[in-house]
Amino acid sequence: MKNKLIDLNDHLFAEIERLSDEDLKGEALKEEVGRAKSVSNIAAQIINNASLALKAQVAINDGLINRAPQMLGVVSGVEALDEGEDG
């Protein structure tokens, strides 16, 4: 299963909807707030990872580096053509 940033966006908005439930009170509300904090922390890490990959791609496109470290999953223009648009 490959997740995309749009999926993260959907999860974040779903969490906002759960927190907006006016019937959520007491212990259930505390649990949801704790869950929201966890989701937020994980989302921040995902966003940081995506930002790093984007910066690496920009550096490649600007000719500052020839290729990014393999762990970033960023490919050069030639590699992208070899793998196809979907990777």
How many Cβ atoms are within 10 Å of 61's Cβ, its own excluded?
Answer: 11
Range of lowest pLDDT (3-7, 36-40, 83-87): 83-87
pLDDT in tens, 23-53: 999 999 999 999 999 999 999 999 998 898 8
Angle at CA of residue 56, ends 68 and 40, nearest 5°? 120
Query: Two tokens at 5?
Result: 């940033």
66 alpha carbon, distance to own chain's centre: 25
Secondary structure of 39-51 in HEC code, one letter for each residue: HHHHHHHHHHHHH
pTM of the model: 0.70
